[in-house]
Amino acid sequence: MNAWMTHLPVLPIAIPLLTGALLVLLKESRRKTRLALSVLSVLAQLVVAVQLVAVAAGAEPHVWPGGIAVYLVGDWPAPFGIVLVADRLAAVMLLLCSVLGLAALIYSTARWDRAGVYFLPLFQLLMMGLNGAFLTGDLFNLFVFFEVLLAASYGLMLHGSGEMRVSAGLHYIATNLVASFLLLIAIALVYGATGTLNMADLAIRAGQLAGPDRRLFETAAAILGVAFLIKAAAWPLNFWLPNAYASASPPVAAVFAIMTKVGVYALLRLGSLLLPTGAPAAFGGEWMFPLGLATLLFGTLGMLATQQAERLIGYCIIMSSGTLLAALGMPGVTLTGPALFYLITSVLALGAFYMLVEMIERTRSFGADVLAVSLEAFDLDDPESPDRSDDVVGVAIPAAMAFLGMAFICCALLVAGLPPLSGFVAKFSLLSAALQTSSTDTPSAAAWLLVATVLLSGLAGIIALTRTGIRLFWSAEDSVVPRLRVSEAAPVGVLLLGCLGLAIWAGPVMAYLNDTALSLDRPQAYVDSVFAREPVRKLGTEAP
Amino acid sequence: MEIILSIAIGILTASGVWLILRPRTFQFIMGLSLLSYAVNLFIFSMGRLRVGAAPVIDKTGDIDPALYTDPVPQALVLTAIVIGFATTALFLVVLLASRGFAGNDHVDGREADL
């Protein structure tokens, strides 16, 4: 039990890595074994993530004092070796990632895992990259995990093949490759200026820089910020997103819902570590707030303009990214807790939405959701690809249409932020925190701007989603009741129930997230626990 | 030496960026390769330029760090080369697939309307 506890932080990386390797070795014909193995692996990650959330709340003070689990991967002490750090923020993101991953994986077992080769190993590697990016405490290691998750996502993006996917995948891969080079340049500059890549060490050293080194570091921080903003899909760096996500297969798009949030996570993590030390504020409010607002407006306009349900969700993702960036760009920490709550809600809702839309579209023939005129104007072809066919065999669950309709309404409520689901709680707490944020009695102009933009985007969301809903459900003349498998309907239902649960237990969850925000505001604890961690084997005692 | 290296990195980057902004996939991948060379050289140069100094510390005897060059950027550049190589190769495959589907080598899969 103690060994399990001490090695807990590395398990979210080790489990999917080993499972992925094993899955490559297993023959495709042993489908049941492979599926069982994949699901077991993600379940194990879920268990570990739950445990880490408890640890971060201080459940195991004798193993992990202060609730921050620091794992020395190569058993070298802090600034020299690579560290994994599981604090509250990382634990919450891990939990979110494994919940979404489990839902998408179970959904894909119905038929999507057979649309191409190597779906299951790539899925595990994507989970590994995501978990690693959340856990790592080293800047270059962060780059490596970004590449792991991107490489897996390139494969998954093209899963199922077809002209549309390859064309969108080309743009997606090209954008991300260039972004990776930016990230590398920035990391090299950070190393050149400070001589360290350990994030905790960076928090100390960056504050002591002066003169040309400081200017170099500020340049590095700006390039780093651009690279992360590309991943976070901030305007004007987000034109790759709607097409890519809309053409990816639905379970893949569902997991991709958390990928933009990795960029937001990196900005939040580095921003929290660098800001209080007096380091340059490239991640700070003066850039993130206007960019967030612009992203929010771009997402809003995109939602109103688009006619295809999948693309609509892509713009919802952009909208949620914009809300997060704008909220995190506001001064003070009061908004961070509600912003994290919003992040969890939007990831769960949008992940469910992608899977739901694919089920809904089985009721219709191609192009029925696009106006006939625009179909002609844009010269769209019928992608009669094999993976779109409706030869689904299985037990039809009763009242399939009722389920689809209810689930669609839930998703729309969550995205628009209407009661009674957690989308409302998230947006309400976000806006009320924004209005209380300033120390003076009257809220600042920025706060009012944020409130106005978020409300406007919510309104646009309602309009766009209502329009889509009417077109999908009511105007269908030749609609057929689709045959849904339980393994397809259940993940969507569970994700939406999760959002309901978040609304019911909003108090405890929000308390946990507010503590997370406070711990981000005081990075000294993070830095101290990284340096306090002793290697298992004492230095200098190894055999010559 | 610093001047020559900076000029080399600058020319590689400029050519790479120009090629990346071109509409043909082949030009894009060429630009990507040039850019990756530039980035790798840049990472390498961040350990400061030293001639005739080893990065690996000899364990025997007293160690004077001034005699050695910084090994970390060399390790970083190795990782970056491997990752850049792998992702470029993957992009090449996607490029060929796109060529096969679309029948031309435009990045959008269709020629721009002139």
Q: Give the percent of chain A with pLDDT over 70.
A: 88
pLDDT at A365: 55
Sort out which chain B residues have CB atoms less than 8 A from A158's CB and list them: 94, 97
Sort out which chain A residues have CB atoms less than 8 A from B96's CB and list them: none
Predicted TM-score (pTM) of this structure: 0.88
Sort out which chain A residues have CB atoms less than 8 A from B107's CB and list them: 170-171, 174
pLDDT band at A539 (very low <50, low <70, confident <90, very high): low
pLDDT beyond 60 at B74: yes
Q: Give the percent of chain A with pLDDT over 90.
A: 25
DSSP, collapsed to helix, strand or coil, labels residue A136 as strand
Closest chain B residue by Cα to residue A163: B101
Q: Mean of the per-residue pLDDT values for chain A? A: 83
Q: Cβ separation of B76 and A144 shorter than 8 Å?
A: no
CB A112 within 8 Å of CB A119? yes
The reply to whether B32 falls in a domain is yes
A9-42 pLDDT, tens digit each: 899 999 999 999 999 898 878 888 888 999 999 9
CB A261 within 8 Å of CB A354? no
A209-227 pLDDT, tens digit each: 888 888 888 888 888 888 9
Retrieve residue A215's tokens: 């200017």
In this prediction, residues A308-326 reach a mean pLDDT of 89
Q: Which residues of A touch B (CB under 8 A)?
A: 140, 144, 147, 150-151, 154, 158, 161, 163, 166-167, 169-171, 173-174, 177-178, 180-181, 184-185, 187-189, 191-192, 197
pLDDT beyond 50 at A114: yes
Q: Cβ separation of B86 and A170 shorter than 8 Å?
A: no
Quote the CA–CA distance of A8 and A128 in Å, as a whole number. 15
- Which residues, 6 or more positions from A45, have their beta carbon under 8 angstroms from its beta carbon? A11, A12, A15, A16, A94, A98, A101, A127, A131
Of A154, A166, A197, the CB nearest to B101: A166
Query: Looking at this protein, which amino acid is placed at residue A303?
Result: M
Q: Cβ separation of B73 and A188 shorter than 8 Å?
A: yes
Q: Which of A73-77, A178-182, A247-251, A396-400 has the highest mean pLDDT?
A: A178-182
The reply to whether B109 falls in a domain is no
Would an 8 Å CB–CB cutoff place B81 in contact with chain A?
no
Give residue B86's domain range. 2-50+69-102
pLDDT band at B6 (very low <50, low <70, confident <90, very high): very high
Sort out which chain B residues have CB atoms less than 8 A from A151's CB and list them: 86-87, 90
The reply to whether B17 falls in a domain is yes
The whole-angstrom distance between B24's CA and the closest CA on chain A is 12
ipTM: 0.92
Would an 8 Å CB–CB cutoff place B76 in contact with chain A?
yes
**Local structure of residue A83 (DSSP, 8 states):** E
Closest chain B residue by Cα to residue A171: B107
The whole-angstrom distance between A335's CA and the closest CA on chain B is 37
pLDDT at A367: 47
Quote the CA–CA distance of B108 and B102 in Å, as a whole number. 9
Quote the CA–CA distance of A336 and A62 in Å, as a whole number. 29
Looking at per-residue confidence, does B95 or A63 come out higher? B95
pLDDT at A80: 84
Task: Give, in degrees to the nearest 5, the angle at Cα A81 between A76 and A84.
Answer: 100
- List residues bridging with A136 in a β-sheet: A84
Would an 8 Å CB–CB cutoff place B86 in contact with chain A?
yes
pLDDT beyond 60 at A245: yes
Looking at per-residue confidence, does A42 or B53 come out higher? A42
The dihedral over CA atoms of B86, A237, A130, A422, expressed in degrees to the nearest 10, equals -160
Retrieve residue A419's tokens: 């009661």
The reply to whether B63 falls in a domain is no
pLDDT at A216: 86
pLDDT beyond 50 at A544: no
The reply to whether B112 falls in a domain is no
pLDDT beyond 50 at A373: no
Q: Which of A158, A170, A180, A198 is the best substitution to test chain B (most B C-beta atoms within 10 A)?
A: A170
Sort out which chain B residues have CB atoms less than 8 A from A154's CB and list them: 87, 90, 94
pLDDT at B32: 92
Domain edges within chain A:
2-369+397-532
pLDDT at B114: 57
In this prediction, residues A63-68 reach a mean pLDDT of 80
Q: Find, among B47, B70, B7, the residue nearest to A193 by Cα.
A: B47
Sort out which chain A residues have CB atoms less than 8 A from B94's CB and list them: 154, 158, 166, 169-170, 173
The reply to whether B10 falls in a domain is yes
In this prediction, residues A516-537 reach a mean pLDDT of 83
Quote the CA–CA distance of A461 and A467 in Å, as a whole number. 10
Q: Which of B15, B18, B94 is the best substitution to test chain A (most A C-beta atoms within 10 A)?
A: B94
- List residues bridging with A86 in a β-sheet: A69
Quote the CA–CA distance of A350 and A320 in Å, as a whole number. 10
pLDDT beyond 50 at A434: yes
pLDDT at A538: 65
Sort out which chain B residues have CB atoms less than 8 A from A197's CB and list them: 72
Q: Is A219 exposed, middle or buried, given 0-12, 13-18 or 19+ CB atoms closer than 10 A?
A: middle
pLDDT at A384: 46
CATH code of the domain in which B31 resides: 1.10.287
Q: Cβ separation of A191 and B83 shorter than 8 Å?
A: no
Q: Find, among B51, B43, B36, the residue nearest to B72 by Cα.
A: B43
pLDDT at A386: 45
A298-307 pLDDT, tens digit each: 999 999 988 8
pLDDT at A98: 93
pLDDT band at A383 (very low <50, low <70, confident <90, very high): very low
The whole-angstrom distance between A163's CA and the closest CA on chain B is 6
The reply to whether B20 falls in a domain is yes
The whole-angstrom distance between B67's CA and the closest CA on chain A is 17
pLDDT band at B101 (very low <50, low <70, confident <90, very high): confident
Expressed in angstroms, the distance from the first to the final Cα of chain B is 47
